[in-house]
């Protein structure tokens, strides 16, 4: 079954027994608790009918930026800076040449390989976003730092692939900052390509969300070594039933560029909003899928939430995935 | 050349304050309690800037979730929209939606407001060095979704700012325009009402429309462009987007030393973009000491 594959994006709300003590667990105790949370989340994903289970909700990671940054030399975290309101993230200061001190995601690959799960997708934080979210107190330019992060991510992905074995491994490069600065799209292009350069047997996804102009991304698609673009759309779409899906108009622009390429690329369509508890009924999700199918063939269309579901409770997150699967099955039956 | 130091904008919250806000958001603390913590934290900030011998500093704005929020919440006709990215940063603010500029609400009493920690808007210090802070009118409009008539809204905001100056008896005011502005004529009445420091972005803009009136200070990147429109020009020099601690401010000002008798040296952006531990060290670097 390769039409309308359902997938999640990455994060899922951690159970309280993990999140409340995340930073205080030590060594083996952490591994055991993170494993337990991953298995429980995996169970939820499978119960929802999800076809690709990611890495079980990123239970080993506190958040997407700090996780890799805190495993590098040459970067120091002095403390949190504000993201919005009273929400903060630990922003690293690059003060020296960066080096990977330890692998970022080896434990997840080992776990899933051991479980015999093949339908996984490993999210990794993209080099441009790592650069954009860091203080650069060492490299001579933003480009130089992004490329340095690109080389580190290449090392990481190469090792993940080696640990995974012969089968194709899906890697999702998360680049929420990708379209923040239109003048730096060239840096996005070069640093993302650097991350996967020379690595065979990987299906590369790129996740971008909350962009004010996907056109910037679409423009560089022909030169990006990426096969699947997992994008947010639901957040910008009204929730009323209508065949005019305003939030999905960029799907046509995606198709227009994809049609110019000899290499086939796919679209991961964000069909549920992760910023709200509002439960999109399956009918609404069906309409969104059908709208996208006007422009993208079903074997080139995958379905996912807009972004990681960590912002929602586990119950809401589960139901959103479930409704997505119900909608997908209805549409698939009608094809 | 005499250097005059100025720290403006939102100062980063301490761990204590962040955790306190977390408890308050979860309903584990009432508004009075958090208000007392904000007051204590503000006092600690005033002790710090005095210790650093800063000549001027704004309110730390510890209960401002972003540089527009408390003002947007104080003026009838403005509502809060979705989160929007602040310039090319990873920091977001709630985009105001301006339909019209109505009445000004109470800013100086304790009161609970939606979507922001409780008021008062400022935690004033009775000091010649203390500056009230207001977001620039041009940037306010640029950062908002404006439904009504832009020129009426611009005028309306100016009138509300004049009302704020009168009601709070503001003696010194800092206006921050984070986005490049071309026309500063809107500030003509404001600079007559109080001593005004204007922090700008870019190389200047047109100040000739303010006529013979002068700002107390205009702080930007190129003092030659605006020196004649203020008493003391200034330069943004202490980098709020780098954790390096050094004498960058002094180096940045060196080229101007032979052309100006007095120069204000300020931060480049709110220190809220820095971890608190770095901000607490940078306040000692405005005149070169690291």
Select the residue of A82, A132, A135 nearest B243 (Cβ to Cβ): A135
Answer whether residue A273 shows pLDDT above 70. Answer: yes
pLDDT of residue B61: 98
Residue A242, pLDDT score: 83
Q: C-alpha distances in angstroms, A314 versus A12, A59, A114, A117, B94?
A: 7, 13, 25, 22, 27
pLDDT exceeds cutoff 90 at B28: yes
**Least Cα separation, residue A154 to chain B (angstroms):** 24
Nearest Cβ partner for B275 among A81, A132, A177: A81
Structural domain span for residue B145: 2-282
Mutate to test the interface with B, among A77, A84, A93, A133 (most CBs of B within 10 A): A84
Domain A5-65+102-334 carries which CATH code?
3.20.20.210
Q: Do A81 and B273 touch (CB under 8 A)?
A: yes
Task: Give A216-266 pLDDT, tens digit per residue.
Answer: 999 999 999 999 999 999 999 999 998 789 999 999 999 999 999 999 999
Which of A76, A82, A307 should be substituted to probe chain B, the one whose Cβ sees the most B Cβ atoms within 10 Å?
A82
Residue B256 contacts A, CB cutoff 8 Å = no
Q: Does B22 touch chain A (CB under 8 A)?
A: yes
B65 touches chain A (CB under 8 A): yes
pLDDT digits (tens, 9 = 90+) for A37-96: 999 999 999 999 999 999 999 999 999 999 999 999 999 999 999 999 999 999 999 999
Q: How confident is the model over B37-60, as pLDDT tens digits? A: 999 999 999 999 999 999 999 999
pLDDT for A1 beyond 60: no
Q: Distance from A176 to chain B by nearest Cα, in Å?
A: 10
Q: pLDDT tens across B219-253, in order? A: 999 999 999 999 999 999 999 999 999 888 888 99
pLDDT tens digits for range A131-142? 999 999 999 999
Q: Which of B93, B243, B277 sits opposite A137 (nearest CB)?
A: B243
Tell me the C-alpha distance between B148 and B125, whole Å: 37
Instruction: Please provide the average confidence, as pLDDT, over all residues in chain B.
Output: 94
Checking if the pLDDT of A2 tops 80, the result is no
Residue A123 has pLDDT above 80, yes or no: yes
Q: What CATH number has the domain bearing residue B204?
A: 3.20.20.210
Mean pLDDT value across residues A290-318: 97
Mean pLDDT, chain A, rounded, equals: 96
Q: At what angle do helices A27-48 and A314-334 cross, to 10 degrees?
A: 40
**Cβ-defined contact of A86 to B25 (cutoff 8 Å):** yes
Size of interface A-B (CB pairs under 8 A): 59
Whole-angstrom CA distances from A231 to A218, A302, B140 are 11, 10, 31
Q: Which of A103-107, A300-304, B5-9, B23-27 has the lowest mean pLDDT?
A: B23-27
Q: In 3D, which of A252, A184, A254, A177 has the Cα closest to residue A208?
A: A177
Q: Does A63 touch chain B (CB under 8 A)?
A: no
Length of chain B counted residue by residue: 290
Residues B86-141 have pLDDT tens digits of 998 889 999 999 999 999 999 999 999 988 999 999 999 999 999 999 999 999 99
Domain extent listing, chain A: 5-65+102-334
Chain A residue at shortest CA distance from B67: A85
User: Taking residues A293-322, what's their average pLDDT?
Assistant: 97
pLDDT in tens, A310-328: 999 999 999 999 999 999 9
User: Which residues of B fall within a CB distance of 8 Å from A132?
Assistant: 90
The complex scores an ipTM of: 0.93
In this predicted structure, the answer to whether residue B215 has a pLDDT above a threshold of 70 is yes
The structure tokens 């390769």 sit at: A2
Domain count across chain B: 1
Q: Give the pLDDT band (50/70/90) at residue B204.
A: low
CA A303 to chain centre: 13
In chain B, the percentage of residues whose pLDDT exceeds 90 is 84
- A15-26 tens-digit pLDDT: 999 999 999 998
The answer to whether position B287 is within a domain reads: no
Q: What angle do CA B221, B222, B223 make, to 5 degrees?
A: 115
CA-based angle B206:B210:B212, to the nearest 5?
120
Say how far apart CA A239 and CA A279 lie, in whole Å.
10
B133 lies in some domain: yes
Asked whether the predicted pLDDT for residue B290 surpasses 60, the reply is no
Asked if B211 reaches chain A (Cβ–Cβ under 8 Å), the answer is no
Owner of token pair 């299906």: A203
Candidates B61, B90, B280: best to mutate against A (most CBs of A within 10 A) is B90
- Chain B residues 25-64 with CB within 8 Å of chain A: 25
Question: Does the residue B288 lie in any domain?
Answer: no
């Amino acid at each position: 079954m390769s039409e309308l594959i359902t997938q999640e994006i990455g994060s899922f709300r951690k159970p309280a027994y993990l999140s409340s003590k995340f930073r205080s667990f030590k060594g083996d105790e952490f591994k055991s608790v993170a494993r337990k949370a991953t298995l429980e989340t995996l169970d939820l994903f499978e119960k929802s009918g999800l076809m690709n289970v990611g890495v079980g909700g990123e239970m080993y990671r506190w958040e997407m930026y700090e996780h890799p940054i805190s495993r590098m030399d040459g970067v120091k975290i002095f403390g949190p800076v504000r993201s919005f309101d009273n929400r903060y993230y630990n922003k690293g200061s690059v003060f020296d040449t960066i080096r990977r001190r330890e692998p970022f995601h080896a434990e997840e690959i080992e776990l899933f390989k051991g479980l015999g799960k093949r339908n996984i997708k490993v999210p990794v934080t993209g080099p441009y976003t790592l650069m954009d979210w860091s203080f650069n107190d060492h490299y001579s330019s933003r480009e130089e730092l992004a490329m340095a992060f690109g080389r580190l991510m290449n090392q990481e992905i190469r090792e993940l692939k080696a640990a995974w074995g012969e089968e194709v491994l899906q890697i999702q490069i998360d680049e929420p900052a990708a379209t923040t600065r239109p003048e730096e799209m060239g840096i996005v292009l070069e640093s993302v390509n650097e991350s996967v350069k020379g690595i065979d047997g990987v299906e590369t996804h790129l996740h971008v969300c909350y962009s004010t102009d996907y056109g910037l991304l679409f423009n560089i698609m022909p030169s990006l070594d990426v096969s699947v673009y997992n994008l947010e759309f639901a957040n910008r779409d009204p929730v009323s039933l209508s065949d005019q899906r305003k939030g999905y108009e960029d799907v046509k622009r995606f198709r227009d560029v994809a049609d110019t390429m000899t290499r086939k690329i796919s679209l991961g369509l964000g069909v549920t909003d992760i910023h709200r508890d509002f439960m999109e009924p399956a009918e609404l999700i069906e309409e969104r899928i059908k709208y996208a199918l006007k422009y993208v063939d079903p074997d080139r269309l995958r379905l996912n939430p807009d972004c990681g579901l960590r912002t929602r409770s586990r119950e809401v997150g589960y139901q959103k995935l479930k409704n997505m699967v119900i909608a997908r099955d209805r549409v698939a039956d009608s094809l | 050349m005499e250097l005059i130091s100025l720290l403006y904008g939102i100062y980063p919250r301490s761990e204590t304050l962040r955790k306190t806000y977390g408890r308050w958001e979860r309903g584990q603390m009432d508004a009075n309690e958090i208000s007392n913590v904000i007051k204590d934290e503000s006092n600690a900030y005033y002790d710090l800037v005095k210790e650093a011998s800063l000549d001027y500093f704004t309110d730390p704005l510890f209960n401002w979730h972003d540089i527009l929020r408390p003002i947007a919440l104080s003026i009838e006709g403005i509502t809060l929209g979705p989160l929007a990215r602040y310039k090319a940063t990873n920091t977001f603010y709630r985009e105001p939606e301006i339909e019209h500029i109505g009445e000004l609400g109470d800013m100086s009493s304790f009161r609970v407001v939606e979507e922001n920690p409780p008021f008062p808007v400022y935690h004033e210090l009775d000091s010649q060095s203390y500056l009230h802070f207001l977001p620039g009118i041009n940037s306010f409009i640029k950062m908002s979704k404006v439904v009504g008539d832009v020129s009426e809204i611009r005028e309306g905001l100016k009138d509300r700012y004049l009302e704020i100056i009168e009601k709070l008896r503001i003696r010194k005011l800092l206006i921050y325009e984070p986005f490049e502005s071309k026309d500063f004529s809107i500030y003509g009445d404001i600079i007559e009402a109080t001593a005004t420091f204007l922090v700008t972005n870019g190389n200047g803009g047109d100040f000739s429309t303010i006529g013979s009136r002068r700002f107390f200070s205009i702080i930007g990147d190129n003092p030659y462009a605006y020196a004649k429109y203020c008493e003391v020009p200034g330069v943004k020099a202490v980098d709020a987007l780098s954790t390096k601690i050094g004498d960058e401010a002094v180096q940045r000002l060196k080229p101007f030393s032979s052309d100006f008798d007095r120069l204000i040296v300020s931060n480049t952006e709110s220190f809220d973009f820095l971890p608190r531990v770095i901000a607490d060290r940078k306040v000692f670097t405005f005149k070169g000491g690291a």
